[in-house]
A and B are shown apart, each in its own frame.
Chain A
Amino acid sequence: MAEYKSVKVSAGRGGWGGPLTVTPSDSRPLIASITGGGIHPVAQRIADLTGGEAFDGFSSSAPFDKLAVAVIDCGGTARVGVYPMKKVLTVDIHATSPAGPLAQFITEELFVSGVKPENVEEA
């Protein structure tokens, strides 16, 4: 049994939504970085502080129900909605707010944007 801790992820400058409390569990241990180019610093910081496992979503795959959180670098239309639609907590490094056909799934309880590593704090 792994020991996990919680972090609070708050909106950065110009961001929207949250704050989110992220607590990985044995059933949802993964911190997905859906950013391309490896593990984003925000995803790494969440993993370091919580004990969750960071993985690159563009190099390997995992079911939605294994994700504690998805970290995305979405410009506002696609990835912002897909993960909230599946009830996955979603952290966007860009300062986006809900728009487009998937906007209805993006709620303050599931989504926070404009996040920098310093916006991730121990809860």
Chain B
Amino acid sequence: MTEPGQGAVYATTVTKVGSQVQAFLDHGILIFFGDHAPEELHDISVLHRADVADDGPQPGDTIHLGDVSLEVLAVGEVVRDNLLNLGHLDLKADGRTTAKLPGDVCVAVGALPLLAPGDSFRITRPA
């Protein structure tokens, strides 16, 4: 379901949440991989299956995690390739307006939600 005035450039549904995801949330980090990722990455990741995969996030986009919405502040240079090729994204609640690492997507400092299978993860862009 797309909200009026905003188009989803990426939309996906959570299929599995790894046992180490909470430990990463405690550091303000949320890691996504497509559900075809190697098994050794499953423990640390939110696995998901995408329906819409048109683009990666840009500053000013909104990331929707279930019913939590977060404005994208900064995006590293390999983010788009990682997301479109692997379903991979490193979300960092570090408040930075310049990404520290090439795979980082930065949002405001604050708690990131623990997602569950069936939750949606979307990236929308202002019209």
Contact = CB atoms under 8 A, between A and B. Distances in A.
B115 to A, nearest CB: 16
A78 B44 contact: yes
A86 B23 contact: no
Interface string B44-78: 11000000000000000000000000000000101
A61 B103 contact: no
A76 B101 contact: yes
The 9 closest A-B pairs by CB, nearest first: A75-B103, A76-B101, A77-B90, A75-B102, A36-B85, A75-B78, A36-B86, A57-B38, A78-B31
Interface of A: 34, 36-37, 57-58, 61, 64, 73-79, 82-83, 86, 94-96, 99-102
A36 B33 CA distance: 11
Nearest to B79: A75
Given A75-B101, A76-B102, A94-B102, A64 B78 contact: no
**B: interface residue count bin:** 20 to 34
Given A73-B78, A76-B90, A78-B90, A96 B102 contact: yes
B15 interface: no
Contact of A75 (B44, B45, B104): B104
Contacts of A58: 36-38, 86
A37 B85 CA distance: 8
B48 to A, nearest CB: 14
Contact of A101 (B27, B86, B102): B27
